[in-house]
């Protein structure tokens, strides 16, 4: 699970809401990169 996956804003919102799937993600909005991590423990 060490790969970082690019997701859309909509996918990122769903990941935050459902806490699925687990992993590391980032999205780009208006030239800003936002990292998100969804891991157990």
Is the CB of residue 6 less than 8 Å from the CB of residue 21?
no
Taking the whole predicted model, whether its pTM rises above 0.75 is answered as no
Q: Burial letters for 2-27: b for 16+ Cβ neighbours within 10 Å, e otherwise?
A: eeeeebeeeebeebeeeeeeebebeb
The pLDDT score that the predictor gives to residue 33 is 67
Segment 1-41, tens digit of pLDDT: 468 888 998 998 898 899 888 888 888 877 766 676 666 64
Is the CB of residue 26 less than 8 Å from the CB of residue 33?
yes
């Amino acid at each position: 699970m060490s790969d970082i996956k690019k997701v859309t804003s909509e996918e990122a919102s769903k990941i935050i809401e459902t806490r699925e799937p687990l992993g590391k993600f980032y999205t780009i909005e208006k030239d800003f990169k936002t990292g998100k991590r969804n891991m157990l423990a």
